[in-house]
Amino acid sequence: MTALMLFCCTLTAEPAVLDAWAPVFAAQGLPPSGPSLNPVEVGQFHEATHRRPLWDLLAGDPLMAPTVAETGAAGFLRDAGSLAPTLERLGQRLGLGVTRSLGGGVVAGLEARLRETRPGDDLLGTALARLRQASGGEVLPPGDAPTDDLPPALSRAMGLLLAAVETTLDWRQRAFEQAPGGSLGGAVLDLRRFALPGDEGPGPQTFVHQRRLDWLAAGLDIRALHAGAVDLCLVFDAVRADLQPVAGFQTRRWDTPLGAVILAGDGDDTHLGDPPLLLVDLGGADTYQGGAAALEDRFPVSIVIDVAGADTYQATSGLGAAIGGVALQIDLAGDDIYEATDVAQGCGIGGVGLLYDAAGDDRYTAGVHAQGAGAYGYGLLIDGAGSDTYVANKRAQGFGYTLGAGLLLDAGTGTDNYTAGPAPDSDAVLSRDPDAVALAQGCGFGRRGDGTDGHSTAGGLGWLVDGGGNDSYTASSLAQGVGYTFGLGFLTDAGGNDTYRGADRRLGAGTQAGIGVVWDGGGTDRYSGEDGLGAGLDFGLGWLIDVAGNDRYELGSVGLGGAVANGLGFAWDLAGDDTYDASGGPALGRGETAPRIELLAVSLRRGLPTVGLWLDGGGRNEFPGEIGPVQ
């Protein structure tokens, strides 16, 4: 007789977290596991399509937030030098991931296919022939540059990348099979319109376009898009060491219907024109105009790899940006400059866009939808080392919109500076003007439709990870670990003496059922802003965790374990001699039921909790502001 045994495993908060907070819960008459957000109760006031599983996990057990933030950041930092694991991890956190690396057969399978097509070591020539034939081009056009005299390792590397392009195109086709009207090109046009700044202004045409995006999102197979991008990243990870300079090599170009394949030498080159299908530059101080850009249906995949040199990258849109496709911009060495306007520097809109800079002191400047921004897809900016500067307008630096994930991962321990908001190079970035929103530095943002057409879509996942160092974070409203309309935003810094400045709704703030988390691993830090710093507003969940150090907190309104209108706010400083300067609003472990108390008599909100909790783990603390700790 065979016995069938079933085991059920439920994710719960770690014992150390529970032990620390248990006395606080007991003192406030809360359940031993603490307060939570019930999706059914929240749904009486806020509802949206495409809500992510991670939201359900954290809403149901808010004490999981410190563990999710810490382990997630540790995983990203561990894998920062390998693109495929990083992309897979981001997809897993969004709940839409695939793990193509399981079994390790992707690269071996591609190589076997090339060698079965044509024996020999000219894998670049074989891959070109296959790709040209599949896309309707001439297999061997007159005057074609030779491929059979390249070093075998370099030929293999480029051949495998092109073989992965072939499979990526198949995955892309599958992803858009259910596009409205069955038109992949039409889907790309809809996504392009969404990606432009100012596209969501009022007006009937906007509502019509939004409905088209809703139909597109309902049929979009993001897992297929993800799979195609992971295949390209797996190949790059496998062949990276083989991309080495070749002395005296002169640039060669091979044309295909999908864009040019270019192998450039180690001189100082200028790369212009249409986005390449694959460009490998072996060194030199190079200048790029556009770079890797898969922004149109005729350029569905674009890969640019620069092996060495201090380079300058300029683009209106591009530099690892994709709309309905896949784009990889990779720089392996040198102090580089990246300048762009919108949809750039690691942006995926209905696609996957990735910018990877392995080393050097770099500067990144961009506008909207940039520096790790994803909507209906994935956008990643990964910087491996150095002291770097990031400047953007909005929807940037770890921004995730509906069905999207954006990651800005700086794995080094240098002194990094992050700025986001209108006029980011001036004090106007700190403005509280309602239009001065950043939606950046770890922001998950959804479309709130109850005031317009009634169709809300849940925010995605935005995450900024910094590996350490004495860093500076400056942003206007809705930034720095913030979630809006079921969005999820994380800002995690591994350590160092950091400064966080901004306006309102930031630094571990959840609003309109969003979830925002800030986790700082230690150092003497300074946090300042109008509200946030561990604040929950309108069924939002906010967390601020500082592990160690003598820190200073300056707050003008709701936060530091403050909550309003059925939100949950947590602030937790584990150690150090700290200063808490709070001058207004519910703060330091306080909640305010509703700004308009007269509405409670006729609202279901009256029976639902509003909870603000603050916990300081020890040290000699000061409270110079108007508000002191709850006794």
pLDDT along the chain (631 residues), means of 10: 37 84 94 95 94 97 97 97 97 92 91 95 96 89 91 97 97 91 84 71 58 89 95 98 90 96 96 97 96 95 97 97 98 97 97 98 97 98 98 97 98 97 65 76 94 90 98 95 98 98 87 97 94 93 97 92 94 97 88 64 80 94 82 55
Q: Say yes or no: 608 and 460 in one domain.
A: yes
Q: CA-CA distance, 106 to 163, in Å (whole number)? A: 11
Q: Say yes or no: 477 and 577 in one domain.
A: yes
Q: Say yes or no: 566 and 488 in one domain.
A: yes
Adjacent-strand bridge partners of 417: 389, 472
Q: CA-CA distance, 467 to 16, in Å (whole number)? A: 24
Helices within 150-203 (DSSP H only): 152-175, 184-195
For residue 275, the 8-state DSSP code is P
Identify the domain boundary among 206, 222, 240.
Answer: 240
Examine residue 234 and state whether it is found in any structural domain, yes or no.
Answer: yes
- DSSP code per residue over 311-351: -EEEESSBSSEEESSEEEEEE-SS--EEEESSSBSSEEESS
CA-closest candidate to residue 628, choices 590, 588, 570: 588
Count: domains in the chain = 2
Q: Residue 553's domain spans which residues?
A: 15-80+440-631
Identify the domain boundary among 187, 209, 240.
Answer: 240
Q: Please, which residues have CB within 8 angstroms of residue 586's CB and are 6 or more apart in sequence?
A: 558, 562, 563, 564, 592, 612
Examine residue 473 and state whether it is found in any structural domain, yes or no.
Answer: yes
CA-closest candidate to residue 567, choices 555, 545, 585, 549: 585
Q: Say yes or no: 115 and 176 in one domain.
A: yes
Examine residue 361 and state whether it is found in any structural domain, yes or no.
Answer: no
Instruction: List, edge to edge, every strand of the sheet that includes 368-370.
Output: 368-370, 394-396, 437-440, 477-479
Q: Say yes or no: 56 and 147 in one domain.
A: no
Q: Say yes or no: 568 and 519 in one domain.
A: yes
Note the pLDDT of residue 26: 95
The two three-digit tokens of residue 364, written as one number: 């990144």
Examine residue 50 and state whether it is found in any structural domain, yes or no.
Answer: yes
Q: Please, which residues have CB within 8 angstroms of residue 491's CB and are 6 or more apart in sequence?
A: 398, 441, 442, 463, 464, 473, 480, 481, 507, 508, 517, 518, 519
Examine residue 68 and state whether it is found in any structural domain, yes or no.
Answer: yes
Q: Say yes or no: 64 and 184 in one domain.
A: no
Q: CA-CA distance, 481 to 460, in Å (whole number)? A: 13
Helix (H, G, I), strand (E, B) or coil at 28: coil
Find the helix packing angle between 65-78 and 83-94, rounded to 10°.
Answer: 160
Examine residue 423 and state whether it is found in any structural domain, yes or no.
Answer: no
The two three-digit tokens of residue 587, written as one number: 């703060």
Q: Three-state secondary structure along 513-533?
A: CCEEEEEECCCCCEEEECCEC
Q: Say yes or no: 33 and 118 in one domain.
A: no
Examine residue 464 and state whether it is found in any structural domain, yes or no.
Answer: yes
Identify the domain boundary among 201, 221, 240.
Answer: 240
Q: Say yes or no: 64 and 159 in one domain.
A: no
The pTM of the whole model exceeds 0.75: yes
Q: Say yes or no: 542 and 592 in one domain.
A: yes
Examine residue 591 and state whether it is found in any structural domain, yes or no.
Answer: yes
Q: Say yes or no: 51 and 114 in one domain.
A: no
Number of C-beta neighbours around residue 622 at 10 A: 11
Note the pLDDT of residue 1: 31
Q: CA-CA distance, 451 to 553, in Å (whole number)? A: 35
Helix (H, G, I), strand (E, B) or coil at 231: helix
Q: CA-CA distance, 445 to 268, in Å (whole number)? A: 41
The two three-digit tokens of residue 468, written as one number: 């350490």
Q: Say yes or no: 141 and 224 in one domain.
A: yes
